[in-house]
Amino acid sequence: MAEVIRLETPLTHEKVAQLKSGDNVLISGVIYTGRDAAHKKMVDALARGEALPFDVKDQVIFFVGPTPPKPGQVIGSSGPTTSYRMDAYSPTLIERGLTGMIGKGLRSEEVIAAMKKYGAVYFGAIGGSGALLAKRIVAAEVIAYPELGPEAVRRLEVKDFPVMVIIDQEGNNLYETGKAQYRTY
């Protein structure tokens, strides 16, 4: 079984440089949420010269719109959403210092180029496991765009949040290397 890397946020460039495509990672610390509507608002704010709701430098954004929590829960089911919805916005945030993204599915060449240029990684979380992932979230607070409901930006505190490095800062892509490896059998 592969070694599991325990990672504390913030996700500095030094930490990013240690991560390789295929690594299993447990993240602890603060991460933020945002889906396409929130990403559009953030990029539009930057275009107007306004500040973002949080400093993206050395931060991780989880592409999720959690369900409402049941009584006694911190957050509802929190499964990843398809990442390509953020592809139009991610390069702008990566250029501003974003170092990590968590989602599912493929990323565009533009996103991968920005990751390589500025030093960022793309983590995959297992789709369909939202209830289990929610158990790794120990605190959640809406910090921006409450009008977006589930898609509002949240500050999450996570403990041993399980992800895998899909694309590392060198552009090594598990979706590609995994297919190539499978073809050898």
Helices within the chain (DSSP H only): 13-18, 36-47, 90-95, 109-118, 130-134, 174-183
pLDDT tens string 45-89: 999 999 999 999 999 999 999 999 999 999 999 999 999 999 999
Q: What is the largest CA-CA distance in the chain?
A: 53
Q: Which of 151, 134, 133 is nearest to 142 (CA)?
A: 151
**pTM (2 d.p.):** 0.94
Determine contact, residues 146/152, Cβ cutoff 8 Å: yes
Residue 33: alpha-carbon gap to chain centroid? 8
- Stretch 102-108: mean pLDDT, rounded? 96
- Let me know if domain 4-183 sits in CATH 3.30.2390.10: no
Classified as helix, coil or strand, 18 is helix
Give the Å distances, CA to CA, from 37 to 30, 42, 43, 118, 133. 21, 9, 10, 24, 22
CA distance 91 to 87: 7
Domain range list for the chain: 4-183
pLDDT at residue 183 is higher than 70: no
Least confidently predicted of 92-101, 105-114, 175-184: 175-184
- pLDDT tens column, 138-174: 999 999 999 999 999 999 999 999 999 999 999 999 9
Reported as a pLDDT band with limits 50, 70 and 90, residue 127 is confident
